[in-house]
Amino acid sequence: MAVTLLALLALFNQCDGVEVIGPEETAEKISRIICAKKQSLDAIFETKSRVRVRICGDMECWRRGSGRPWYIVAALVGEEEILTQPGRSLEKVDDLGGVLAHELVHLLIRKTAGRNCPRWLDEGLAQWLSGQKSPAESSRPGNRKELAALEQRLKSSRTTRDQLERDYGACRLLVKQLVERVGAKVLVRSLAGLKKIPDPLDLPVEANSLGSLLFPG
């Protein structure tokens, strides 16, 4: 169902907890994608969070609203809002469903862990649960020092695009190792504990800590 807000602008809420605001045709398409992705992700996170997707009308809106570079087409900009580039940019994206699912995972992690989830885990889970593959050859950090260096690069505005692609691949490899050890649901449902501990590697995950699962012995 669509409710017209302005000329060429519509609000879609085709399923419970999802609103998409933007040009009607694009908003309807994104609403279908988000509703389908949210259903499966809510089952993993055991939550029924609300999400709003706002489609920018032009690139100035995107730059001003997201602060992200041109090659990123969607971003979590609030506790419940995902901002995207204009519809004409989204039409060029090969895996739009994966991109939107990636940001939806970020939103669900924010709802679960607040702002306490380390970037490597946040990005790794977003890739893993959205089904995205990293395009870059990557290697997994082999110790806590290398993991700390990865975290710093992910947070730095000076990290190059090529390096970020490799680092995103490393994040996915880390999460792959964790999922193989404990399963995605167990890992995700432990994230709330990040609100209570200063060091994420001390997070209890079943009978282990996050650090011992990554670097046994």
Q: What is the pLDDT of residue 10?
A: 57
Q: Which residue has the tokens 């389908």?
A: 36
Tokens representing residue 5 in the block: 């807000």
- State the Cα–Cα distance between residues 90 and 71, nearest whole angstrom: 11
Q: Which of 159, 88, 168, 106 is nearest to 135 (CA)?
A: 168
Q: Where are the domains of the chain?
A: 2-111, 116-214
| C-alpha distances in Å from residue 27, one per residue of 120, 166, 183 | 31, 32, 34
Mark the ranges of the chain whose per-residue pLDDT is less than 70.
1-10, 12, 135-136
Q: What is the pLDDT of residue 158?
A: 94
Q: Which CATH superfamily is domain 2-111 in?
A: Collagenase ColT, N-terminal domain (3.40.30.160)
- State the Cα–Cα distance between residues 75 and 113, nearest whole angstrom: 18
84 forms beta bridges with 55, 74
